[in-house]
A and B are shown apart, each in its own frame.
Chain A
Amino acid sequence: MKKTEIIEGYLGYMRESIEVVEKTREKRLKETFPLMSLEEREEILKKFHPDYKEEAKRPVKVGPNKGDLMPHEVADLLEAYPLAKPKDIDLSKVDFNVDILIIGGGGAGMTAALWANYTGVDAENILIVQKLRLGDSNSIMSQGGIQAADKPNDSPGLHYLDVMGGGHFTNDRKLARRLVSDAPMLVKWHEDLGVIYDKESDGTMVTIHGGGTCRKRMHSARDYTGLEIVRSLKDEVLNKNISILEFTSAVELLTDEQMQVAGAVLYNMETQEYYVAKAKSTILTTGGFGRLHIQGFPTTNHYGATADGIILAYRVGAKLRDLDAVQYHPTGAAYPEQIVGLLVTEKVRGLGAQPVNKNGEQFVYPREPRDVEASAIIRECYERNNGIETPTGMKGVWLDSPMVEILQGEGTIAKKLPAMLRQYKRFDIDMTQDPILVFPTLHFQNGGVIVKENAETTVQGLFAAGEVTGGTHGKNRLMGNSILDYSVFGRIAGINAAKHAKKAKIGKLTLNHVTKYKKMLKEAGIETDRKAPILLPEYRGEKVLSHTLEIF
């Protein structure tokens, strides 16, 4: 075969490597690559994890986290000017006056809205503001599952240990404890809502391992876990008639003279009209920052993941943490070109597939915590040169998916990974017969806005939940804990925001904090055209961008 001929999706030279992988498979089925020690983990992270590259970050020059190291892409946005000038916003005319304003309509936002409603806040007093359509978020894309210690051989304590270990023991302990303690309750709530989790014939939840877990406690709905939960949440939010504004962003939070958060300035993305939304409690559930493409990595994140919430929070003085801890999912698709960066769920490894280099050899325990696993793949491709290079220059290693069919029975992939099977079939690749090519991809914002156990940030009136927050996962999140995070803390944020709204008294609306922030930037010597939040990434072709005129 020619090296550049395409055979069942793969180029000739890739097929040659696949043949080697097939030859070593039988041997590898019986082998378990050893786990790394804590010391080995530290070493490989320091040498190969993108977070440890000194040139990729810098100390931010302004604000509550002045001096802290952040990736350039994040620091650029914190050291940027507001989208709207305070004098252009007429705060005397209030367009929306609600008890609870929720910025971000993904898993966390919808969970918060529902629990605020259950706690007694009327549907019309809750407003969800969503940049795209309700439910369009990272939540909808998670595939693998949600962790909860609900089996007799498991306990919240063991789950806690896993969470702490995965986070390199830097987690906020209170948040970690809350995460694991509330987990079974949230899974039960999902069951009551009608979410169809994979179950045995007697109702027992089907659970498997994830990276870094000591018990099989990952619950899933095939490989559509995120979609199944989000579409159920979305249906419930719509059934309850909770107010929603789609294609509307928040571009600035509002404060009052007591410096508590009092709502936000909203922006209709389609008509360019701004609205003033006054709220007794504001909840930030704006998700992650994958579309900033930190260090040029492709991402698994949805179109709107542009760190808006962090910027809004920072401007009112909220403290952040661990923004230099970026999670690169070890297995993003590396080929074909059309799906580069998209998530290949950890569940594939949970079901038994091994990462394998071009010579058909294992090089890492398949289920180390994500940052360790990602570092090992980067080392394999760039130091040891044992990866496969694709025509676009991307490098990757094989993930031996046919092993899943051998270990779990024929038809397992069709049953448990239907979305992925279909995705690859579109490009003529049959992942039950051939391995798939993977490389780390930018996936999750481990850090974020600091919150207390009751979801309150360091600024009164401002709550936060989900990926936008920091501390729960420390420096590295385990698989299955992000759906758990937005469920547990979305609920807590909704309940506490409702409680807070009962006694909150909002004074005169101001954008003084924005004026202060601008002054701070000028005093720090920051001269730039950059504006933040960016709301959406810029993907228009180079040729076009270099020839645009802003006429209307």
Chain B
Amino acid sequence: MEVLYYPGCSLKNTYPEFEKSTYAACEKLGINLVEIPEWNCCGVVPSLATDNVMRHLGAVRSFINAQEKGKEIGTNVVVTLCSMCYNVLKRVNLILKEQVDTLKNVNDFIDDQPDYVPELEIVHFLSLLKNVGFDKLKERIAIPLRGLKVAPYYSCALLRPDRPKGVPIDDPENPTVIENLIRSIGAEPAEFPFKTECCGNYHIVFEPHIVEMRTKKIIGSARSENADVILSPCPLCTYNLQHGNETLDRSEQVPVVFFTQLLALSLDVKSHLSTEIENQIMKKIGGKKFV
């Protein structure tokens, strides 16, 4: 019998008797141990470590700066808009709350700043609005967008994975927070089944056809519910959906805007929408182009 053999460092250095006795026995038993040429140390310590610190540094440094600023202004709530950033910050913060060893390691590594004490709460803007209360929000609306049908697109980053526990901002299968926002600004949510489907994320770089395939379905689904506009909570999803729109005929396209832009429009403040889209919306709700 011929087998490949991986020795490991200790057998070659500190405990050669372990290997030598094995070779001797194998020879008697007819087993040929073929040592792997160029084997590396298996890297047991870094490999088994669950506290890969390097990849969290950007987030943790941001937490530390937030923590210090938070002390000044008296809050521990950090709000984000981009759903990808939300996902990363939320997960890293939960990991640091759970894994005391990881927290200690990362604090030791960052020796040029104060230690991070994981007491920040990472909150997505939609959750902030929900906590304020959508009925309270409704009272502040100046231009209810009546007559506008709005498709709520969640992106996946706001809802998954639920590991560590606590990442999703709403029910991952059937969330409702964006629909509630839509109603509070006077518009009608277009319930469409693809609202939590992934747009294809970073595949846009090397395999854009995947993004095209997925976003076409998402846009098509929204359009089949007669949506006038799709709300997006994520810059990457917006980029991908706009890419998807470009592959469709004019009549099949649905404009994509950030959820805060419609919110701003309904509050009668600067929405930074393109003139074209703003005019489309105002026409739909029967309003004049406002200055």
Indicate if A touches B (C-beta under 8 A): no
Residues of B within 8 A of A (CB): none
Residues of A within 8 A of B (CB): none
